[in-house]
Structure 1
Amino acid sequence: MAVPAAEQTLGILRYLSSQASPVQATAIARSLQLPRSTTYHLLNTLIDFGFVVHYPEERRYGLGVAAHELGSGYARQEPLQRLARRPLAALADRCRNSAHLSVLLGRDVVYVIEERAAGRPLLVTDVGVRLPAVITASGRAMLAALPQPQIKALYAEREAFSLGVPGAPTSLSTLRRLLVDVRARGWATEDGEVTEGLASVAMPVLDATGFPVAAVAVTYPKSEETPALVDALVADVRATARTLARRLGG
């Protein structure tokens, strides 16, 4: 049975964790479609318990020390890596191309698992590597699963598009069009934006609320691309993403 207050509280924490910097309460209320009075009440409660910190001079809110402690505990237990390691290895074996799992951190993706297939090209997406989300298939897959207000909040500044990467979105409007295509197709792709000559397909891993907690992707040489290969890779990635979603309670 759903508990609205709990869902709203978790929604605030999740929203704050996705931002590159502290945000105003009005942005939180607007993005989560909460009444302003409810937003301030929940923020004050979270401040009391150390999960949120208020910056009065800026009139902004960010994550507090208690949230960091939760994140540290998560990192120590590595549940995502534990649950995903075998499915990712099986994916790489099936498709005979390297597979990886990443998470969204602000406007970047961070790679947490890399399963390299024998004889395949070396990739830059090693564990711990951080790349702009908009140039990666994994990042595009996760961004396409986020609400529009959250996309707008993440990419409100023009500097977010000053990447100098051919094929990367150059404005919020071009990013939105790209994400519309991803949603319509059901999976994301990138073609040489990360490494010339290599392409990737990716899908998000959704939790029970539909939030993209991670993304599964496979990278392959562009020279080997055929419609049949892409179809097979998409099917394999989809099956793995769904397996992980079930394991995570999605």
Structure 2
Amino acid sequence: MSNVPAATRTLRVLRYLASQADPVPIESIMRACELPRSTTYHLVNAMIDEGFVVHLPEERRYGLGVSAFEVGSGFSRQAPLQRIARRPLAQLVDRAGQSAHLAVLHGRDVLYVLEERAPGRPHLVTDVGVRLPAHLTASGRAIMASLPPSQVRALYPDRAAFTDRTGSGPQSPTALRAVLTETRRRGFAVEDGEVTPGLRSVAVPVVDHNGHPVAGIAVTYPAADPAPPADLVAWCARQVSQRLGARRTD
């Protein structure tokens, strides 16, 4: 660890704190980031001085500071994910001849942040800014199939967590697990009329440099049309993933 640049250590601490639901003791930071005690205190104190970390002395815990929030807000303003994905998504639409969209997971919903419409195709409900139940959408299933099972269980602990749109789709944790298991086996997610009757979707996750799913790319098409090749959707997802720093897989 002594050869790891200080900047890399700092980013590891920030990433770890961002992944926690609550502030954590210094010992947790040490273990998770594999840092010596003295180094951890040095980094954390420097980050406190810059506003990226806040110390809660009564609780003996550390959490993210206001400067970390400002960085996150800057990310939202600049919309880099949408910028990165726009061209590959347009190419996907040209090749598939169907509309496509990019969605991110937000709680138990997916939030649509980018859409490319194919000429002459049906109007979709997936306009930018629209939220839909993640467990009913191909994009949401693609993302959740790549998440740790414990995270999915936290999102969907019981039947009360499930909503319905068309009377179909998983309505229990057991049914959702079966859908996600089949999604992983197949290598892509599908949805058939569970959001809008008569429309189907196929989706693949976009992953970052850690292999963590950050979004889903889906093509939606009329049930009467041939299904677009899943390999084509996977190609688009790989293009965006690689632009985010993911390792090449082809």
TM range, normalised to the smaller chain? 0.7 to 0.9
- Report the alpha carbon displacement of residue 25 of structure 1 after superposing the two structures with TM: 5.9
Match for 1:104: what amino acid? L
Assess if the C-alpha contact under 8 Å between 1:218 and 1:233 holds in 2.
Answer: no
Aligned partner of 2:229 in structure 1 is 233
- Report the alpha carbon displacement of residue 62 of structure 1 after superposing the two structures with TM: 8.1
* Closer, same or farther: CA 51–200 of 1 in aligned 2, 3 Å: farther
Deviates more, 1:98-107 or 1:4-13: 4-13
* Runs of 4+ that moved beyond 4 A: 1-6, 22-26, 45-56, 60-64
Task: Calculate the TM-score normalised by the size of structure 2.
Answer: 0.77
Q: Secondary structure at the match of 2:168?
A: coil
Aligned partner of 2:195 in structure 1 is 194
- Report the alpha carbon displacement of residue 179 of structure 1 after superposing the two structures with TM: 0.7
Aligned partner of 1:70 in structure 2 is 71
Instruction: Decide which of 238, 241, 248 is 1:242's aligned counterpart.
Output: 238
Task: Calculate the TM-score normalised by the size of structure 1.
Answer: 0.77
Aligned partner of 1:99 in structure 2 is 100
- Report the alpha carbon displacement of residue 71 of structure 1 after superposing the two structures with TM: 2.1
CA distance in 1, matches of 2:94, 2:70: 36
* Closer, same or farther: CA 50–236 of 1 in aligned 2, 3 Å: same
The reply on whether 1:169 has 2:170 as its aligned counterpart is: yes
Return the structure number with greater helix share.
Answer: 1
* Closer, same or farther: CA 12–73 of 1 in aligned 2, 3 Å: same
Match for 2:132: what amino acid? L
CA distance in 2, matches of 1:52, 1:191: 45
Equivalent residues in 2 for 1:123-138 (5 A)?
Answer: 123-138=124-139
Q: Secondary structure at the match of 2:229?
A: helix
Q: Secondary structure at the match of 2:76?
A: helix
Match for 2:87: what amino acid? R
Gaps of 5+ in 1: 17-21
* Closer, same or farther: CA 84–157 of 1 in aligned 2, 3 Å: same
Aligned partner of 2:153 in structure 1 is 152
Aligned partner of 1:19 in structure 2 is none
The reply on whether 1:216 has 2:217 as its aligned counterpart is: yes
Gaps of 5+ in 2: none
CA distance in 1, matches of 2:152, 2:10: 24
* Closer, same or farther: CA 195–94 of 1 in aligned 2, 3 Å: same
Superimposed CA distance per residue, residues 86-108 of structure 1 (whole angstroms, 9 cap, x where no aligned partner): 11111111111001011111211
CA distance in 2, matches of 1:109, 1:54: 33
* Closer, same or farther: CA 214–169 of 1 in aligned 2, 3 Å: same
- Report the alpha carbon displacement of residue 7 of structure 1 after superposing the two structures with TM: 3.5
Aligned partner of 2:140 in structure 1 is 139
CA distance in 2, matches of 1:173, 1:61: 36
CA distance in 1, matches of 2:98, 2:209: 29
Structure label with greater radius of gyration: 2
Aligned partner of 1:10 in structure 2 is 15
Greater length-normalized contact order (CA 8 Å, ≥ 6 residues apart): 1
Assess if the C-alpha contact under 8 Å between 2:139 and 2:203 holds in 1.
Answer: yes
Equivalent residues in 2 for 1:83-98 (5 A)?
Answer: 83-98=84-99
